[in-house]
Amino acid sequence: MPDVILSNDDITVLGPPEVVELLVDIGPTGQRGSKFFVGVGDPNTLTTSGSIFQETINLYDMYINSAPGANYGYLYQYISEVGGNTWTQVLKISPTLYSKRHTVTFASGEASITVPIANIVTVSGTPLTASNFNVQYSIENTAPIASSVEVPALAGAGTNLVVNLNAAKYASSTWSNLTGEVTVHLFISVVI
């Protein structure tokens, strides 16, 4: 028989206390967490009195700019920097998209659409190339259309994005090059 290390014939069962008291109205108020504000314009140009800021701004509070323009849809965070606290752009909430209907004239099955890059994205930092643009399109027509798209290299930094289209339509049991004026729905997004 092996050696017995512990031997006890009694079992004690312990339970919870009979009464639990929870006091919720005692103690100082803690510092609130981050708060989100939404307003029109750069938050650094807004004053705290008479503006959207109805209460004291704390570090790490967030702000979304809903003003149309270059900084539309940016999320700002109130942070401490050398020289004082300031609102700093953190990220753009709405993705960089371009969507528009273009009236295009096809000749011998070919057409081009030129879009200024400034209409798609504000370029900063690394220059963009043609491969940074995802181009999606559809051509309005009553007949079936077969088409392809090509985006050639950009001619210069921050200039225009050229979208070359080739299309053929199926009519009377025959494929022929698309000719004439049609509407092209163009959707462009920026990719990395």
Ordered structural domains, the chain, with CATH: 1-94 (no CATH), 97-190 (2.60.40)
State residue 50's pLDDT score: 47
Query: 69 vs 67, which has greater pLDDT?
Result: 67
The rounded mean pLDDT for the chain is 85
List of residues 6+ apart from 13 with CB closer than 8 A: none
pTM flag (> 0.85): no
Closest CA to 112 of 149, 155, 139, 138: 149
The three-state DSSP-derived secondary structure of 10-50 is CCCCCCCCCCCCCCCCCCCCCCCCCCEEEECCCHHHCCCCC
pLDDT digits (tens, 9 = 90+) for 71-96: 778 899 999 999 899 999 998 887 77
